[in-house]
């Protein structure tokens, strides 16, 4: 049955969408709806009423049948839903849409708010415990701003060590700290790593990197780091990783910490520890379930943040938009399960070909995006080509169809030349992607 709007416009939506007829069977549903009801088979979903796959609490399905006879729509409302293995909460709205015969169907739009509520509740519980601290911080706008920056940075990097290295490099200049160290456990904790150091980060005339070798040697003799650093001033922070192993981070100064510096570090330690302990929860909130890359929502938030940061620092930011060539035809030929495998393999290749500081994301459907922070203009095309060639060489093993191969087209833009807003950068990269397809696909194009 044809719909007067093209349903495939919803294929790239992060939120679930389905269109049903008067028998409550699906006329169309996007991949996100398939994930919501935990059913990947198109045939299975279209065979039965939607009510067989999802239950909505206090929801009048009969009203949807009326919407198939005359135009009706609904306000947005929140309802509890239940599927085969999951219960949660969605924001829901629906409206009548006409097919090519002039008959009405019903388009239903869902927005899963369960995970957002869980994160919100955890933050509210944590912040309520610190009401006294927050009141004090309200008098120190600088500290409030810095805490917000810390929490944002803990959500920015997959690897906590990468996050902390960037965070500590940022804090060292503000707090006049000479250097920061990292190691596992209090004794025999190697490998000890220098996280960051100030421009003048020396001890008794020696470079901190050399001094860290002495610390490593003393740690191997089971000396606690407070004995090793007994001639200096230090503040430590630690947390347990997923394997319950203590990890230590130590700020070191040649002179005594001021009251404000000590108070700031102690204030930061608890929300930072909370964020690290719950990073798996954060990761789920910002990760695409199928490909394990960042999701579309996080990509937009991160791109906006990076644009602001690069504008402040007057640095170049790259953006890649990537589309798998002829993916719809590929899906039609080999089926959606094989298509899903292709998406996972391509996503894995993109992640492998990127730098550790890059931000690869699933943009939607067969489209991917990658943010390239702090990059020289000439290096953007180098990384794009590396990704394109990596995908071209990827062999996708399948039981039913043997070895399959795919290619991809990539559009490139960069800040600030091609735009200083999300819309401008994405539009420029999308235009370049169109040029790459028009030039025969399996190539990279950059906006002039």
In terms of domains, do 276 and 301 share one? no
Give residue-wise pLDDT tens across range 88-119: 888 899 999 887 777 889 999 998 887 677 77
Structural domain includes residue 410: yes
Of 172 and 333, the structure prediction assigns the larger pLDDT to 333
Say if residue 225's pLDDT is above 60.
no
The domain that holds 167 is classified in CATH as: 3.30.450
Domain of 365 in residue numbering reads as: 291-446
pLDDT tens digits along 128-144: 666 666 555 554 556 66
Q: What is the mean pLDDT of residues 258-274?
A: 74
**pLDDT-derived band at 323, boundaries 50, 70, 90:** very high
Window from 91-100, 208-217, 276-285 with minimum mean pLDDT:
208-217
Whether residue 165 sits in one domain with residue 124: yes
Quick one: 223 and 332 in the same domain? no
What is the predicted pLDDT for the residue at 409? 96
Average pLDDT over every residue of 22-45:
89
- 1 assigned to some structural domain: no
20 shares its domain with 147: no
In-domain check, residue 423: yes
* pLDDT computed for residue 258 by the predictor: 81
Co-location of 84 and 128 in the same domain = no
Q: 158 lies in a domain?
A: yes
Q: What is the pLDDT of residue 139?
A: 45
- 23-45: average pLDDT: 89
pLDDT of amino acid 18 = 92
Quick one: 142 and 202 in the same domain?
A: yes
Higher pLDDT, 134 or 180: 180
Catalytic, 117? Answer: no
pLDDT digits (tens, 9 = 90+) for 226-241: 565 666 777 777 666 5
More confident residue, 291 or 5: 291
Query: How many structural domains comprise the chain?
Result: 3
Query: Which CATH number does the domain housing residue 307 bear?
Result: 3.30.70.270
pLDDT at 321: 97
Which of 235, 257, 284 is the C-terminal boundary of a domain? 284
- Predicted confidence at residue 144, as pLDDT, reads 60
Q: What CATH number corresponds to the domain at position 49?
A: 3.30.450.20
User: Span 373-382, mean pLDDT?
Assistant: 92
Q: Tell me which of 366, 385, 392, 400 is the catalytic residue.
A: 366
211 and 264 together in one domain: yes
What's the rounded mean pLDDT across residues 358-373? 94
What is the predicted pLDDT for the residue at 222?
Answer: 47
Write out pLDDT tens, residues 181-192.
666 654 444 444
2 located within any domain: no
* Lowest-pLDDT choice from 238-242, 263-267, 291-295: 238-242
Band of residue 216 on the pLDDT scale cut at 50, 70, 90: low
Residue after which a domain boundary falls, among 88, 112, 136: 112
Is residue 305 one of the residues assigned to a domain?
yes
Same domain for 104 and 120, yes or no, is no
Q: Using the predicted structure, report yes or no on whether residue 427 has a pLDDT greater than 70.
A: yes
400 falls within a domain: yes
pLDDT, position 234? 74
Q: Same structural domain for residues 194 and 276?
A: yes
Q: Which of 40-49, 89-98, 237-246 bottoms out in mean pLDDT, i.e. has the lowest?
A: 237-246
Final residue of a structural domain among 269, 284, 299 = 284
Note the pLDDT of residue 445.
95
User: Does a structural domain hold residue 404?
Assistant: yes
What pLDDT does 343 receive?
94
227 and 253 within one domain: yes
Q: What secondary structure, in 3-state letters, does the chain show?
A: CCECCCHHHHCCCCCCEEEECCCCEEEEECHHHHHHHCCCCHHHHHHCEHHHCCEECCCCHHHHHHCCCCCCECCCEEEEEECCCCEEEEEEEEEEEEECCCCEEEEEEEEECHHHHHHHHHHHHHHHHCHHHHHHHCCCHHHHHHHHHHHHHHCCCCCHHHHHHHHHHHHHHHHCCCEEEEEECCCCCCCCEEEEECCCCEECCEEHHHHHHHHHHHHCCCCCHHHHCCCCEEEEEEEECCCCCEEEEEEEECCCCCHHHHHHHHHHHHHHHHHHHCHHHHHHHCECCCCCCECHHHHHHHHHHHHHHHHHHCCCEEEEEEEECCHHHHHHHHCHHHHHHHHHHHHHHHHHHCCCCCEEEEEECCEEEEEECCCCHHHHHHHHHHHHHHHHHCCEEECCCEEECCCEEEEEEEECCCCCCHHHHHHHHHHHHHHHHHCCCCCEEECC
Q: Are residues 101 and 35 in the same domain?
A: yes
Q: Kindly indicate the confidence band of residue 209, based on its pLDDT and cuts at 50, 70 and 90.
A: very low
Shared domain check, 381 and 232: no
Supply the mean pLDDT for the chain. 79
Q: What is the pTM of this model?
A: 0.46
- Average pLDDT on 55-70 reads 90
């Amino acid at each position: 049955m044809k719909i007067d709007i093209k349903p495939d416009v919803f294929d790239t939506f992060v939120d679930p969408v389905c269109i049903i007829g008067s028998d409550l069977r699906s006329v169309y549903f996007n991949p996100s709806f398939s994930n919501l009801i935990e059913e990947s088979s198109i045939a299975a979903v279209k065979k039965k009423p939607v009510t067989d796959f999802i239950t909505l609490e206090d929801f009048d399905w009969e009203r949807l049948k009326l919407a198939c006879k005359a135009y009706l729509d609904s306000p947005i409302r929140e309802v509890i839903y239940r599927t085969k293995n999951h219960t949660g909460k969605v924001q829901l709205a629906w409206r009548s849409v006409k097919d090519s015969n002039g008959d009405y169907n019903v388009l239903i739009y869902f927005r899963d708010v369960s995970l957002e509520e869980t994160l919100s509740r955890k933050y509210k519980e944590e912040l309520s415990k610190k009401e006294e601290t927050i009141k004090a911080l309200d008098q120190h706008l600088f500290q409030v701003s810095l805490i917000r920056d810390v929490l944002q940075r803990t959500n920015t990097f997959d690897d906590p060590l990468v996050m902390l290295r960037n965070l500590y490099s940022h804090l060292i200049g503000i707090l006049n700290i000479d250097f920061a160290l990292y190691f596992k456990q209090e004794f025999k904790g190697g490998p000890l790593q220098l996280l960051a150091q100030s421009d003048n980060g020396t001890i008794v005339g020696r470079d901190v990197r050399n001094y860290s070798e002495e610390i490593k040697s003393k740690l191997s003799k089971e000396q606690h780091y407070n004995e090793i650093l007994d001639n200096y001033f230090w503040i430590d922070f630690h947390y347990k990783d997923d394997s319950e192993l203590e990890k230590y981070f130590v700020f070191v100064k040649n002179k005594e910490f001021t009251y404000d510096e000590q108070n700031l570090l102690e204030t930061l330690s608890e929300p930072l520890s909370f964020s690290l302990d719950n990073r798996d929860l954060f990761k789920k909130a910002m990760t695409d379930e199928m490909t394990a890359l960042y999701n579309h929502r996080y990509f937009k938030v991160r791109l906006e943040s990076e644009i602001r940061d690069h504008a402040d620092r007057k640095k170049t930011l790259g953006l890649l938009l990537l589309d798998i060539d002829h993916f719809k035809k590929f899906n039609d030929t080999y089926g959606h399960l094989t298509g899903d495998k292709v998406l996972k393999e391509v996503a894995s290749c993109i992640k492998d070909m990127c730098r550790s500081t890059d931000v690869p994301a699933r943009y939607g459907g067969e489209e991917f995006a990658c943010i390239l922070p702090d990059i020289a203009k000439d290096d953007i095309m180098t990384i794009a080509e590396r990704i394109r060639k990596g995908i071209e060489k990827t062999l996708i093993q399948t039981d039913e169809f043997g070895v399959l191969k795919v290619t991809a087209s990539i559009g490139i833009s960069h800040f600030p030349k091609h735009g200083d807003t999300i819309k401008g950068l994405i539009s420029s990269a999308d235009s370049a992607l169109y040029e790459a397809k028009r030039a025969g696909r399996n190539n990279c194009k950059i906006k002039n």
